[in-house]
A and B are shown apart, each in its own frame.
Chain A
Amino acid sequence: MDILANLGQGFLGCLQPVNMAMLFIGIVVGLIVGVLPGLTLVMGVILALPFTYSMDVTPAIVLLTAMYVSGTYGGAPTAILFKIPGEPIHVPLLWDGYAMARNGQPALALGWTLIAVLVGGLLSATIMVALSEPVAKLALTFSTPEYFAIVLFGLTSVVSLGRGSLPNAIISLCLGLLIATVGVDSIYGSTRYTFGLPLLLDGIEFLTVMVGAYGLGEVFIRLHEGFVSAPIQQIGEMRTRLPSWRELSRLKGVLLRNSVLGNIIGVVPGAGATIASFVAYGFEGQYNKRKKELGTGIPDGIVAPQAAATASVGGALIPLFTLGIPGSGATAVILGAFLLHGIQPGPQVFLTSTEMIYTVIASLFLGIVAMCLVGFFAIRPLVKILDFPEAVVSAFIMLLCFIGALSIRNNIGDLWLMVAFGVIGYLFERYRFPIAPLVLGTILGPLAESSFTTTMISFHSDWTVFFTRPVSGVVMVLTLVAIIVPIVTHIRANNKLK
């Protein structure tokens, strides 16, 4: 009952003009970000961060969360209508969405997408409400071994769930973890890898790494490609048609299972909407009754990835709010926004900032409904955004990156670091090293190291403690599975090639 009462308070808080304004702005900007091919969802949230500095924490988080949610839908119309996925999230969507549009039903394809967003989003928000407070209460009993086990699980998951080369993902993660060690060590007070530079004594801000690697790195890649976008076809029918109840009831199983799947994937630290979208499509490819028709333009192939992608948002916010561990790149930025406003997310936040947390949760419900309305009525202007010249958009992205990095500590040195990480981000992309493990390593590295070192000191270097305590033991077993499965798959794949 407490949860419902708090949620009610949250809805009232969300209806305050400033919060409603931020919600609406967040939705519109998130949709625009989703449409523009050069601008990813995480980049969009990063670029919005400097605008939140002068705001109170609640509208700031409402804005970023709204952007996060609507960014999971923004690229869908362009993927369906023009085969231009604004986000990697929408690559699985276009396999059936674009095919359905080519079969003469673009309006229905867009309608299915909106239904998937609505069901996936609302279901994940409901699960989030139901789970957050109990998980937070459980987390209050956690000690450093449990925290280390959970963070280690998150780090291994980001390596194992990512597509591409496993060794490359490990190298990327290690680089991120090393970046996190720069500066004064929090336990012993020793300086590490500062090379005599005063700037590095305070360490490297993970936001600098994120802005550089995601923002600048992506723009450099697009510049190297000459800002060449796919030609846009002329579409006669540009509207949304919702499916009938009969059609809808046939797909309720697909909607529900992929919403739950997306939510679970979102909870896993490091696995975001893109992974949820690909896994959901793969899942339907294995178990759907019409699996042989997937790719030909059936609604199952549209609903599954979109529902999972949007549902992953609620899932990703659960570890952020309850443990202070971001579940995805975008939630890492939201964590940064919390920290910049002097609030450390975690189990305590449900006791100390109940109203703020529930206002953000309520904004998720309202945001999903509002996003569907905007998506339904504003499809034409949304698609028109593709006409923006990419060179102009990219120039302003660079400018926002500069301001974002500068405003973290108001230090020009951070700009140099950001440019360095921009070049690293470009090289990573060029040589097929994933960026997500680098960023997650930078964010989770300090927590992983401090919880590991504290445990080792407290338990007299007895490493078995991670396995003998119930919660950490279970998580460590999951971690071992997450390590072993991809290695076995990698070796099998190599053997097949031979």
Chain B
Amino acid sequence: MAAGAGHPSERLGGSGMGIEMLKRTAPYVAVLAVTIVLFMLAGQISYVGKAGQIGPDLWPKAVLVLAMAASVYQIVCIVLQCWREQAAFRASVATPEKPYTIRLLLGMGITLAYVALLPVIGFIFCTLLYLAAFMYIGRYRRHRVVIATSVIGTLMFLLIFMRFVYVSLPMGSAPFSTWSYALLALLGAR
């Protein structure tokens, strides 16, 4: 039999199967861990109430118990399924990884950077850079379109929200704020 063509458990071996099982149970283990921590924190909620009366901790505790039960059920099911029938791994083995993980991480990274830089360099410059960067990360390569849509889009949104919808967009701190306000005055939005 050619390599990789046999039963999934044969292909993976014991440790491979263990890793696969860990991968599949990981989200539920994470949920279980978080709910346990939150359950302990719920016990520390302080309140003043009559004896025998339910407190503000009861509702979150009930919800957490339900989440824990669902997580434990899923973990047990996955483990039992893996022991009972190793073919259960077939689907997860056959599922290819999505191909653009680096782009996703870059996208998340610039999104975090946008939020971090927004109060510093202001909406105009931050948005301009973000839009262009996001389009490039999204594999769009028509440079003129990227630049034009970023500039026009930023100014259009600025005008709509500052002038007509009255949402106060951050202008940043000096010297960016000076430039932002100058641009706003130029656009007649101030």
Contacts and interface: CB of A to CB of B under 8 A. Distances in A.
A187 interface: yes
A333 B23 CA distance: 35
B100 A223 contact: yes
B180 interface: no
Contacts of B168: 410
* Most chain B CB within a 10 A radius of its CB, from A216, A403, A456: A403
B34 to A, nearest CB: 9
B139 A227 contact: yes
A171 B167 contact: no
B111 A398 contact: yes
Nearest to A430: B98
Contact of A174 (B70, B118, B131): B70
B137 interface: yes
B54 A415 contact: no
Contacts, number: 176
Contacts of B83: none
Interface string A388-420: 011110111011001100110010100110010
Q: Contact residue range for chain A?
A: 35 or more
A385 to B, nearest CB: 16
Nearest to B27: A431
A171 B172 CA distance: 40
Interface in B103-124: 103-104, 107-108, 111-112, 114-115, 118-119
Interface string B133-165: 011011110100110011001000100110011
B27 A178 contact: no
Contacts of A191: 45
Contact of B60 (A171, A181, A396, A407): A181
Interface in A136-158: none
Given A174-B63, A225-B98, A419 B138 contact: no
Contact of A190 (B47, B54, B99, B140): B47
B169 A453 contact: no
A452 B111 contact: no
A495 to B, nearest CB: 13
Given A422-B111, A456-B54, A223 B49 contact: no
Contact of B103 (A50, A223, A453): A223
Contact of B139 (A219, A391, A412, A452): A391
Given A399-B153, A457-B53, A391 B134 contact: yes
Given A170-B67, A174-B67, A227-B139, 6 more contacts: A192-B56, A223-B138, A225-B98, A392-B146, A399-B127, A415-B115
5 nearest CB pairs, A to B: A391-B138, A174-B67, A391-B140, A395-B134, A185-B56
Interface of A: 50-51, 53-54, 165, 167-168, 170-171, 174-175, 177-178, 181, 185, 187-193, 216, 219-220, 223-227, 389-392, 394-396, 398-399, 402-403, 406-407, 410, 412, 415-416, 419, 422-423, 426-427, 431, 433, 449, 452-453, 456-457, 461, 494, 498
29 contacts: A50-B167, A51-B160, A53-B167, A54-B164, A165-B74, A168-B70, A174-B66, A175-B31, A178-B64, A178-B67, A188-B49, A190-B46, A223-B137, A223-B138, A225-B100, A389-B140, A392-B138, A395-B135, A396-B131, A406-B167, A407-B161, A407-B165, A412-B170, A419-B112, A423-B108, A426-B104, A431-B27, A453-B59, A456-B54
